[in-house]
Every structure is written in C-alpha cells, then in structure tokens.
Amino acid sequence: MFNWAKQQLANVAGIQEPIYGPTAIKSVAEEAATVPYTELKRDDLKWRAMDSTSVETQTFYFMSTSGQLGCAQVIYSNVVGLHVTCQFTAKVFSRDASIPHIWSSTQLSNVDFSDDKTCFYADNCAVELSEDGTTYTIKSLADEGCIVNLTVTRTTPAIHAGTTGTTLFGTDFTNPWGLMRHAFWPRCTSEGTITTPDGPIDFSGRAFYVYALQGMKPHHAASRWNFVNFQGPTYSAILMEYTTPPSYGSTTVCVGMIAKDGEIVRAGCDSTATHLKSAGDPVNDWPAPSEAKFTWSGKTKDGKELTAVLEGALGERLDRIDVMAEVPGFVKKIVQTAAGTKPYVYQYSPQVKLTLKLKLGEEEISEEGELLTEATFISE
C-alpha cells in the first residue's frame, strides 16, 4: 500500500531524480556572457499556460511611502497536464511580531486570458497590461476581507537575462524536458489600495514586478533560492538566484540588475548571494540566515566597470512560510521521504536600513533603501 501511495505521489510531486550532472542544464548565464540582457516588448510578457507540469506566476511587490510592505501574486499551476489550479494571493506584512500579517489566498474559477495572452482574468479577479506595455492594473474582489485595487507602472525598461531569459534542463537542449524563465520590471511606481475589514491601506510608492515560469516540477528545478528586492531613492538592486538539486550538478543560476528611473544601469548573470551567518530554525534543520552579502558586477552600456554590494544583518525575520502547511501530515511525510522535499521560505526586511554601496567607474555612491529579501530551502 505504501509503495502504491509513493508512486501516485511521484506522478504529481515527483521523486528524487537520477544524477544527470551539470551537462543536463544550460544556464541562461551562457547567453548572458555575450548578451547580458534584452529589453522586452509587450509581446514578450505573455502567459504561456503550458499543457505540461509547470508553475507560472506574476508577482508584484510594494513598498509604500508610508512604510507599508506588501505583495500580490497570481499562481497558475498545471500538474502533469491533468489538473490546472489558479490562486490569487495578497499579503500586507506586519513589522510588529505581536500583530499577524494580513494574508489572503483564494482559489480562482473560470480562468481566462486576453486574445494575446498578456492579460489574466478570472471570476472577481483581473491583472491587465496596458496597450503601451508600461502599466499593470491588479484588481481582486475574490476575498472580501482583502480587496486589491493597485496599479504598477514601470519607470525602467522591462528585461530578462541573455537573449531568452531561460535556463533549459535535459539531455537534448533542442527538446528540453524542463525550463526556467524570469522577466523583470526592476523599478516601478505604484498607486492604489489593499482594503481589509479595518479599512484601505495606501500602497502609493515603489514597486517591483517579476514574471516566473517553472516548466517542470519546482523541486526538480531548484533546491534553494535567494531573492533580493532593494528600492532606494535613486537606485534599485534586484537579485534572483537558485541552485539546482544534485541531479543537475548543484548548479547555481543568478540573475541580477541595478536600475534607476529610465535606465538599466547593469543587468546580467554576474551577481552573488552569500549567507554570512545563520540563525538556524528550531522547527527544522534549515540554516535560516541572519546576515547576508549580495553583490552585482559587470560593465555598463558605456563601458564603465560597475560593482555594487549590499551587506549586513537581516534582523528579526518577517515571516517563515511552511509551503506545505496545508498538506495533511501523512502526505507531507511521504513527500519528505520519497522526494526529499520540505520547502520553507524565510522573509526579511531589516528595520535598520542597509546601504547599497555602488562604484561606477571612479564614482562611488552610497544609498540607503528598503529591502525585502527571501531565503528558500526546498531539499538538500
């Protein structure tokens, strides 16, 4: 009976893969070595809605001028091409440990897309891209306790790393069995509100948007993630890094960018994320970080050498998310045994603001800003 259950679970969640090695992954960094990044047009921001196992997301992060921190996300999931689900989530972070975060996660019905697949629709929910490709509107009445009415306008070009923004998995890259793609709006302005039973919360301020497509089982693609969203008065610094499981040689893929209004200062795959100290976690064995260092490097369009460093203590974590919290205990045990998977996300936004130290040629710039960073652990 247990072996049958493991097999059924493997069909959905997957088991640990064989060791294919680093030759079975073609990192987007190979493209970025010659074309660091590509500016995107409206047509490049389409939903794929794949017919095979995949997770596709649109995620918007908000840092209001009043100090509020929040996010909104659409998650489109396809399990082995048989079962499609879609969620809309919204979160308003509390910086006071005694006050819970405002959190909403609602399953959506009657999902549809615009004819060109740049706009998303469902009952009581819409995420629409403007005709000029510069603005998203996010509206949700799916949860009456968390009503979302927000607008995000990019102030820099939309980009992805390399020429395609995509890392391929498989033994034949002309016919890969998996892929990972990210596209970014690294610096944006935001307007609008998230309304709770206590009233509307104004999220006018700065925003960041990322589109992600994981065209395979998520825990087969990555065992760990690091994410950085730094927004300062003049500069934004973004980093998205994941490390594959041993099945793909524990290969690290990192995309990073420095932007300011109207300009991508530097983008490519020359960034790093390092956990300098660990606080650990009494709930599990994951080395949740307490201090970290993030770096960006490369040349600007005009040939200047760029280096940037963001380093310091992360402070008390904002949240710890057990990704499988809603899964029954016995199923969670099977997943951990059969697939070696126990995903947790640790979120931080230091109360003591960190300083981005930027060197552009001979010019040195230091800028304080708001930081939201995540460390995700999935499997060993």
| Tokens at 365, concatenated | 């710039």
Question: What residue has token string 């040689």?
Answer: 249
Residues 108/86, Cβ–Cβ less than 8 Å = yes
Rounded mean pLDDT of the chain? 91
Burial of 47 (0-12, 13-18, 19+ CB in 10 A): buried
* CA neighbor of 207 nearest in space, from 314, 70, 346, 351: 70
Could you tell me the residue range of the domain that residue 237 belongs to? Answer: 3-377
Residues 122/148, Cβ–Cβ less than 8 Å = no
Going by pLDDT thresholds of 50, 70 and 90, the confidence category of residue 340 is low
Give the Cα separation of 272 and 226 in Å (integer).
9
Give me the mean pLDDT over the 98-108 stretch: 93
**Is the entire prediction scored with pTM above 0.85?**
yes
Going by pLDDT thresholds of 50, 70 and 90, the confidence category of residue 16 is low
* Total tally of structural domains belonging to the chain: 1
Q: What is the CATH number of the domain that holds 124?
A: 2.40.370.10
Residues 236/208, Cβ–Cβ less than 8 Å = yes
Residue pLDDT, tens place only, 130-187: 999 999 999 999 999 999 999 999 999 999 999 999 999 999 999 999 999 999 999 9
Burial of 6 (0-12, 13-18, 19+ CB in 10 A): middle
pLDDT exceeds cutoff 70 at 329: no
